[in-house]
A and B are shown apart, each in its own frame.
Chain A
Amino acid sequence: MPVSSYLLPYDFSPLTILSFVLVLGFYGVALLKMPEQDRPGSGRIVTFTLGVMLCYAVMQTRFDYYSQYMFFVHRGQHLILHHLGPILIALSNPLPVMRFWHQKISPSVRYWLQPLGWIYRLLQQPVIASVLFVGLIYFWLWPPIHFDAMLSRQLYWIMNWSMLLDGLLFWWLIFDPRSPALTNALGYGKRILLLALVAIPQMILGAWIVFSRGMVYDVYEVCGRAWPMPPETDQLLGGLLTWIPPAMMSIIGILIVLRRAMHEDGKFSKRRSLAGGSA
């Protein structure tokens, strides 16, 4: 097979390609047009682009073919769509870009976009966000649902997009660059708590898949594998990918949030003492 066919989409989705082009396009235009002092540094730009391109790669290249016909590759795909990609995008702090475009929206359009803001704030309630984060993983891995999702093209796309969008929401909540001391962003303690809480059900699910004796996801058996691999090996690898990397990412997330909290600790108390002094 020629190399180019590995880079072409297996299941061409115009909507997906359009979304990725728009995201990168809006990001690029904002970079060029925004004032110098707001512009993110090159490290942040690379992180953002890498996160976006990783998500694109697992959805619109040959990788998608293997994700449809190998359970463990499918788990890798969701690891990128629900964890790694959104983590990189959130860490790159695209807030200045979003602010730039937000200012460009005319007030009347902004008025009509208000319901989106309400939905966003509802979904970013910490309890709802974490239940949604874990719930979606459990929902799509529920064996009968998983079976249908792998059989129906439509459900398959809904599954992948819901994972990506939910990943972006959750990790943005966790890595929101705005300080909770100055804005109403979620407090660092709560962020750490959420990260620890969502790790536990993921570990339980992953361990359950790893230690299951029978075939939990027979759809890969039914639909044929990309290459002849023993089903037990496929399931074991998939279970490990559900179990270990998400737990590791929670720990890394906790460390990043802790570091940020420690950095801000001094600033925050200084500001408070100043405020106290003037009172």
Chain B
Amino acid sequence: MTRLLPLCSVFVALMLAGCAGNDESWHGKDISGLMPELEFQLKGTNGNTVTPADSEGTIRLLYFGFTSCPDVCPTTLTDLSRSIHQLPEEYQDDVTTLFVSVDPRRDTPERLASYVNFFGERIVGLTAEEPTLRQLTKRYRTTFGYDEPDASGNYNVSHSSAVYVFDRDGNARLLLRPGLSPEQISEDLAQLAQESSP
């Protein structure tokens, strides 16, 4: 038994270490290791090219939508901006929202600019030609599709309803599914900001 004692203590230590490493709990879905890191090259609202380097060191919230979106997109963007406002002051500038329009035919840079400005300052409106968007959505295992236009030319667009959260280093970390409250999102973002504050 005495010979087994060191072994037991090592085992207990390992178990405690295992527990300590596991105390991270999130409201969103943990997608660490399931998805590739943040990478894109898109068009900004003033015609410039935008890459992840432009928001380096911040937590990035990637969301696909379109400006004519009747309910899901405005609700999500409002929730995101509210959750960022609830963060501790020091972290409020550490979160960048990337709104990628998957409807480039209707969403001109001007239209996109006025849309995102409505939801706050640290939100970037982005879009690109359809093939580029297809590549980006494929990278994050999501897609979008268009309905037939109605008589007045309006059409519905199917798109992801989740928000992809990348940490300061650009690693995919969380997927915020619809149904989370701004408070819950805020807690997740604070925890993420804390673990790697610069």
- Could you list which residues of chain A lie within 8 angstroms of chain B, going by C-beta atoms? 11, 65, 68-69, 147-148, 150-153, 155-156, 218, 221-229
Interface of A, secondary structure class, is helix
**Complex-state Cα separation, A226 to B142, whole angstroms:** 9
- A151-B34, A151-B175, A155-B34 known; A225 and B158 CB under 8 Å? yes
Which residues 120-170 of B have a CB within 8 angstroms of A? 137-138, 141-147, 156-162
CB within 8 A of B145: which of A147, A222, A227?
A227
Is B177 interfacial (CB-CB < 8 Å)? yes
**From B143, B160, B175, residue with most partner A Cβ within 10 Å:** B143
Closest to A226 in B: B145
Interchain residue pairs with CB less than 8 A apart (27): A11-B138, A68-B141, A148-B34, A151-B31, A151-B34, A151-B175, A152-B35, A152-B141, A156-B141, A222-B175, A223-B143, A223-B160, A223-B162, A224-B64, A224-B142, A224-B143, A224-B144, A224-B145, A224-B158, A225-B158, A226-B145, A227-B145, A228-B145, A228-B156, A228-B157, A228-B158, A229-B158
Contacts of B145 in A (CB 8 A): 224-228
B141 touches A153 (CB 8 A): yes
The 4 A-B pairs with the shortest beta carbon distances in the complex, nearest first, are A152-B34, A227-B145, A228-B158, A222-B162
Closest to A66 in B: B143
Contacts of A224 in B (CB 8 A): 64, 137, 142-145, 158-161
- A224-B145, A228-B158 known; A218 and B34 CB under 8 Å? no
CB within 8 A of B143: which of A153, A155, A156, A226?
A226
Contacts of B138 in A (CB 8 A): 11
Contact flags B13-53 to A (C-beta < 8 A → 1, else 0):
00000000000000001010111000000000000000000
- A224-B137, A225-B158, A227-B145 known; A151 and B35 CB under 8 Å? yes
Contacts of A148 in B (CB 8 A): 34
Contacts of B156 in A (CB 8 A): 228
Closest to B31 in A: A151
**Complex-state Cα separation, A7 to B98, whole angstroms:** 34
